[in-house]
């Protein structure tokens, strides 16, 4: 990489960190501990100016004269700038989306990531909390009530109220941390963080109340509209020159293919039973609460060993399967937590599994454990760990492309993890176990429906959450309550189409790559090369993995 180009990247990264210190901290730049972004409108405008200046400076480098490595970094650099400017200039999220202010309320890195002694981390947390009242006061000034969609208020207040509840019990959490981490918090530090937490909690309550009181005025539509929806895909995922109609058609065709595979698997199990009956049987085969963690650990080992058939495992270090820390339990029942791209100290990875609570009724515990049915949990482990998110993380850490490591594409991270569920089955994983195949396809069908619902909610004038709910019930076999939750998510997270979109783009890239190489390369060659780039948008990777990109037509 040329020194001048490297210097510009470093200049951008430090500027990005200054405007987004919470994000930089979570990525592993621990010198930003205790800092939060400013929500002052002048500071937001300065960020816009900084991004526009960086875009101008980037254009000073003639693309064609750059090395291959620099060309990729250039495109990723450009992508990051365009994505941030789209949010600030077009969506104007700082005026219209209260969710954009939730990040600094989530303080879990200080508690869970052991980047420093516990007492130091809690002192840094106290400094962080001290700034939240001013941050949320300014947020209230920035938001324009008439421009907020009520669906965004509903989700934001749900998150804020959850953090209020957590901060109410912070003292008990600190005692648990001291015991679990075998470390001590000084009394002076404890008193300071609890005092600042009380003030921060009041600010969160006030912000939540402000939003609830805004509901009578907040009548904006959550719908992006076709122009902004396509703009979102272009700015964040580099997906352009493709119509809404093409996106829907390709996804619908894939949904129909997966439904046929699902029905065929059901018939191979028992042609006299309905899919619903077989799903019920699958769900009723689940681990005991006492063995859930060990059962998951065993599955982790199984998936790791088998995935070597299709991709290199670059490290033998395993994620630790543990009970989900209390702060995360409201948000996930199974999740992978890996270090930030720049982390040097707190390098452990955790595979979180959330068991049922002890005080739940027997029926509630049973319903919860059914989510961890053996077939479904195995597929979740493939997605979250091997060869999904965790293995992707291992490759990402070795990537030479810093912009890709830090600013990976939503559709790559989630699309890859979804794609390899299918790739493992095609490679013979659990071959002949059609109950496993059904469980795996249920996850894929869910993502198919997400893409369809996202597109229809945001590019039509009348597609309703109720219609989306019915689609999830019909094709993803969800009950009404979870189906409604999934459909509502589409109102505030239009990007949840990226699970399916990313999978479809990776599958098209794989077909094109194999065709170019006369099918003489192996799956392992393809996945190793794919992951060597980190997690950039697939439309960008195509320029580097394919010898003649234009020959293969569109990205889908």
Structure tokens at 221: 């539509």
Neighbours of 43 (CB within 10 A): 13
The answer to whether residues 206 and 260 belong to one domain is no
Q: What is the Cα–Cα distance from 370 to 376, expressed in whole angstroms?
A: 9
- Average pLDDT for 421-432: 98
The answer to whether residues 302 and 393 belong to one domain is yes
The answer to whether residues 170 and 272 belong to one domain is no
Cβ contact 145:215 at 8 Å:
no
- Average pLDDT for 64-75: 95
The answer to whether residues 341 and 404 belong to one domain is yes
- Average pLDDT for 359-363: 94
Q: Is the pTM of this model over 0.85?
A: yes
Q: Fill in the DSSP letter of residue 32.
A: G
Say what the pLDDT of residue 1 is.
Answer: 66
Measure the N-to-C terminal CA separation of the chain; round to a whole number of Å: 32
Which residue from 56, 53, 15, 7 is spatially nearest to 32, judged by alpha carbons?
15
Whether 235 is covered by a domain: the verdict is no
Residue numbers of the domain that contains 283: 241-499
Structure tokens at 64: 């064609």
Compute the mean pLDDT over every residue in the chain, rounded to the nearest whole number.
97
Cβ contact 413:445 at 8 Å:
no
The size of the chain, in residues, is: 556
- Average pLDDT for 532-551: 95
Query: Could you tell me where the beta strands, DSSP code E, fall in 333-439?
Result: 334-337, 350-353
CB under 8 A, 24+ apart: contacts of 474-480: 475/255, 475/259, 475/445, 475/448, 475/449, 476/442, 476/445, 476/446, 476/448, 476/449, 477/275, 477/276, 477/279, 477/442, 477/445, 478/446
Q: pLDDT digit string (tens) for 432-484?
A: 999 999 999 999 999 999 999 999 999 999 999 999 999 999 999 999 999 99
- Average pLDDT for 363-376: 96
Say what the pLDDT of residue 328 is.
Answer: 78
Whether 60 is covered by a domain: the verdict is yes
The answer to whether residues 103 and 248 belong to one domain is no
Whether 276 is covered by a domain: the verdict is yes
The answer to whether residues 37 and 86 belong to one domain is yes
Conformation bin of residue 70: beta by default, left when phi > 0, alpha when psi is -120 to 50: alpha
Choosing from 499, 518, 551, the residue where a domain stops is 499
Q: What is the Cα–Cα distance from 72 to 536, expressed in whole angstroms?
A: 9
- Average pLDDT for 512-522: 92
Cβ contact 392:535 at 8 Å:
yes
Give the Cα-Cα-Cα angle 81, 82, 85 (nearest 5 degrees).
85
What percent of the chain is modeled with pLDDT above 90? 96
Say what the pLDDT of residue 471 is.
Answer: 99
Say what the pLDDT of residue 326 is.
Answer: 78
Whether 506 is covered by a domain: the verdict is no
Q: Fill in the DSSP letter of residue 318.
A: P
Structure tokens at 260: 């046929």
State whether residue 335 is helix, strand or coil.
Answer: strand
Choosing from 499, 521, 538, the residue where a domain stops is 499
Q: Fill in the DSSP letter of residue 323.
A: E
Q: pLDDT digit string (tens) for 254-275?
A: 999 999 999 999 999 999 999 9
Conformation bin of residue 445: beta by default, left when phi > 0, alpha when psi is -120 to 50: alpha
pLDDT-derived band at 297 (thresholds 50, 70, 90) equals: very high
Whether 514 is covered by a domain: the verdict is no
Exposure of 130 in the CB half-sphere (CA atoms within 13 A): 12
Residue with tokens 């559709």: 411
The answer to whether residues 114 and 170 belong to one domain is yes
The answer to whether residues 210 and 351 belong to one domain is no
Cβ contact 134:142 at 8 Å:
no
Distance of CA 164 to the CA centre of its chain: 23
Neighbours of 57 (CB within 10 A): 12
Q: What is the Cα–Cα distance from 92 to 41, expressed in whole angstroms?
A: 12
Whether 291 is covered by a domain: the verdict is yes
Range with the lowest mean pLDDT among 141-145, 340-344, 394-398, 552-556?
552-556
Q: Fill in the DSSP letter of residue 322.
A: E
Whether 339 is covered by a domain: the verdict is yes
Tell whether the model's pLDDT for residue 325 goes beyond 90. no
Cβ contact 224:494 at 8 Å:
yes
- Average pLDDT for 516-523: 91
Whether 532 is covered by a domain: the verdict is no
Q: pLDDT digit string (tens) for 85-105?
A: 999 999 999 999 999 999 999
Q: How many structural domains are present in the chain?
A: 2
The answer to whether residues 163 and 292 belong to one domain is no
The answer to whether residues 206 and 332 belong to one domain is no
Which residue from 29, 11, 13 is spatially nearest to 341, judged by alpha carbons?
29
The answer to whether residues 316 and 198 belong to one domain is no
Q: Fill in the DSSP letter of residue 355.
A: P
- Average pLDDT for 115-134: 99
Residue partners of 294: CB distance under 8 A and separation at least 6: none
Choosing from 182, 216, 250, the residue where a domain stops is 216
The answer to whether residues 194 and 300 belong to one domain is no
- Average pLDDT for 5-14: 97
């Amino acid at each position: 990489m040329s020194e001048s180009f490297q210097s510009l990247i470093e200049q951008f990264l430090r500027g990005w960190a200054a405007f987004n210190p919470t994000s930089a901290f979570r990525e592993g730049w621990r010198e930003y501990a205790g800092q939060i972004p400013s929500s002052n409108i002048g500071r937001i405008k300065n960020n816009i100016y900084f991004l526009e200046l960086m875009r101008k400076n980037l254009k000073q480098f003639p693309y064609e004269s750059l090395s291959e490595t620099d060309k990729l970094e250039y495109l990723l650099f450009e992508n990051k700038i365009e994505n941030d400017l789209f949010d600030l200039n077009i969506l104007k999220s700082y005026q219209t989306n209260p969710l954009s202010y939730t990040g600094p309320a989530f303080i879990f890195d200080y508690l869970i990531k052991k980047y420093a002694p516990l007492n130091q981390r809690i002192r840094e947390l106290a400094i962080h909390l001290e700034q939240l009242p001013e941050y949320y006061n300014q947020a209230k000034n920035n938001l324009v009530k008439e421009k907020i969609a009520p669906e965004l208020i509903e989700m934001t207040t749900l998150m804020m109220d959850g953090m209020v509840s957590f901060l109410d019990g912070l003292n008990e959490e600190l005692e648990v941390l001291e015991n679990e981490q075998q470390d001590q918090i000084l009394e002076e530090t404890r008193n300071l963080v609890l005092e600042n937490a009380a003030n921060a909690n009041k600010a969160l309550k006030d912000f939540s109340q402000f939003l609830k009181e805004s509901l009578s005025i907040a009548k904006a539509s959550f719908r992006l509209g076709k122009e902004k929806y396509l703009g979102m895909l272009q700015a964040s995922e580099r997906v352009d020159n493709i119509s809404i109609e093409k996106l829907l058609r390709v996804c619908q065709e894939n949904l129909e293919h997966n439904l046929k595979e699902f029905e065929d698997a059901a018939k191979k199990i028992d042609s006299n039973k309905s899919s619903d009956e077989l799903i019920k049987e699958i769900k009723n085969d689940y681990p005991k609460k006492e063995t859930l963690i060990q059962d998951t650990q065993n599955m982790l080992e199984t998936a790791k060993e088998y995935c070597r058939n299709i991709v290199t495992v670059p490290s033998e270090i395993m994620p630790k399967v543990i009970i989900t820390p209390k702060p995360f339990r409201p948000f996930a029942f199974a999740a992978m937590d890996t270090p930030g791209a720049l982390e040097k100290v707190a390098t452990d990875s955790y595979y979180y599994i959330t068991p049922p609570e002890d005080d739940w009724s027997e029926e509630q515990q049973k319903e919860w454990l059914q989510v961890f049915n053996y077939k479904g949990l195995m597929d979740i482990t493939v997605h979250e760990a091997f060869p999904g998110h965790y293995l992707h993380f291992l490759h990402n850490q070795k990537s030479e492309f810093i912009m890709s490591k830090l600013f990976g594409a939503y559709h790559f991270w989630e699309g890859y993890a979804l794609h390899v569920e299918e790739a493992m089955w095609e490679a013979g994983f659990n071959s002949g176990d059609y109950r496993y195949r059904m469980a795996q396809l249920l996850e894929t069908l869910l993502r198919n429906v997400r893409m369809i619902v996202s597109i229809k909610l945001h590019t039509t004038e009348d597609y309703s959450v109720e219609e989306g709910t019915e689609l999830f019930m019909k094709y993803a076999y969800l009950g009404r309550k979870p189906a409604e939750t999934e459909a509502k998510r589409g109102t505030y997270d239009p990007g949840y189409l990226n699970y399916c979109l990313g999978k479809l783009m990776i599958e098209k890239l794989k077909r094109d790559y194999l065709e170019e190489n006369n099918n003489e390369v192996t799956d392992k060659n393809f996945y190793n090369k794919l992951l060597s780039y980190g997690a950039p948008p697939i439309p960008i990777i195509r320029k580097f993995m394919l010898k003649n990109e234009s020959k293969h037509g569109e990205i889908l």
